[in-house]
Chains A and B, each alone.
Chain A
């Protein structure tokens, strides 16, 4: 059974193409705001034509969930699997998987990019890292 694949559009193709080259990218506006997922306009100031910027790959584990039920047949053989919310050190946040034992996952743990292939799609997964990153989640 094939895994669900991202829908490649003119807007999202640069993101997925960069991952195929081993790089995680995000968008940044002239105003300084940085974000994911891809948009045509900066959600802070609405200026068009943001630029793509390469992420360091360092981040922080904000939260995670563990699936014990497969909502798609391709995930049945992977149960239990996690989906995690990671904040990049540059600010943007994304959903991902942490390639680690679930018992080792901890709040605000530092994580590092680990690009993995599923069929012909390169995914931005992360692994636990020993390098600490700054924390900004306490509003």
Chain B
């Protein structure tokens, strides 16, 4: 029997976003989990699985056990995983598969990091032996892809700007957002280079914060009296694994395989989607995800996002709480949580009558991709 609709996100929780001096990632995880359990109305004693993404900025040995110890939980299954920014959405699907396999009953999925007040060196890191040529930073890999997309498809700066303007407009309405400043095309064009052709306003924020989900079967949620469970209709993954230089093409992503799996599992099509939360670590990522999910043809995302189509009130509103460009640079869970709010009908920028939300998470330099479809 298909898993579609038989598992739910029962609760969501997050810390403040932005700069949290004197924070540590284990405490941020615990705070997010505490709030997620309260949101679900579920006691900690019901939890028997803890899935956590390792903090991007500081790897720690046996990190999953450190978080579980601080939570006072002895999990039957779980641990710390690393697929970059796609990890959270993937962990959610691993948790569902573990429950389905009878390995656990109620799972916490969580992530926290503090690169803003701590160490952000990971984003500026030398990239192996290619550092001899000056190959540094996370942004540079995306800049290589951004340029090739513009070369092959004529994607213009105003197309990339449209993505940033949508996230920034929506984030400005979100009191929890780290950056609450709408963006104009003129401001985007004047934004300084990070690594040409990527500008500051194409780039995710650097943020402290944590977030968590409570995951269980729909049946268990009924038994526990969960007030607002949101059903998971589909999920899918994809991993190219090849570094940017080794890929045969720069302009397609694992969103194609991940999306195909997720949409097939849910038995829906992109045209059925009411609202999308798309991983916007850099603006090019959103354009390529729209294409590879099939919202438009390959190379036509620039035209698709023009004229406010991805802003609230448009054809396909995206990142309605601000995404990585405005709400928090924390990789991934903010998008899942906003998908949950849209399906509950409680989002600040609610899409009226929304019944289907697609969420994407993406890791590395488009190495990994996870797709999630939520219903109500």
Contacts and interface: CB of A to CB of B under 8 A. Distances in A.
27 contacts: A35-B246, A36-B246, A62-B250, A63-B144, A63-B250, A65-B195, A67-B196, A68-B192, A68-B193, A68-B195, A69-B195, A72-B126, A72-B136, A75-B134, A81-B134, A83-B134, A93-B246, A94-B245, A95-B130, A95-B135, A107-B148, A118-B132, A123-B132, A123-B133, A137-B148, A139-B248, A139-B252
Given A63-B145, A63-B151, A83 B132 contact: no
Interface of A: 3-7, 12, 35-37, 62-69, 71-72, 75, 78, 80-81, 83, 85, 93-97, 107-108, 118, 121, 123, 125, 137-139
A62 B244 CA distance: 11
A102 to B, nearest CB: 8
A64 B134 CA distance: 12
Interface of B: 124, 126, 129-137, 140, 143-145, 147-148, 151-152, 192-198, 244-246, 248-252
Given A72-B131, A83-B140, A93-B246, A62 B148 contact: yes
B134 A139 contact: no
A92 to B, nearest CB: 9
A6 B194 contact: no
Given A6-B129, A64-B147, A66-B193, A97 B152 contact: no
A131 B94 CA distance: 52
A138 B152 CA distance: 8
B134 A7 contact: no
A61 to B, nearest CB: 10
Contact of B194 (A3, A35, A69): A69
Contacts of A94: 245
B237 to A, nearest CB: 21
Nearest to B136: A71
A67 B193 CA distance: 8
Contacts of A4: 126, 131-132
Contacts of B198: 65
Contacts of A65: 140, 143-144, 147, 195-198
A16 to B, nearest CB: 9
B133 A95 contact: yes
Contacts of B246: 35-36, 93
A66 B130 contact: no
A107 B245 contact: no
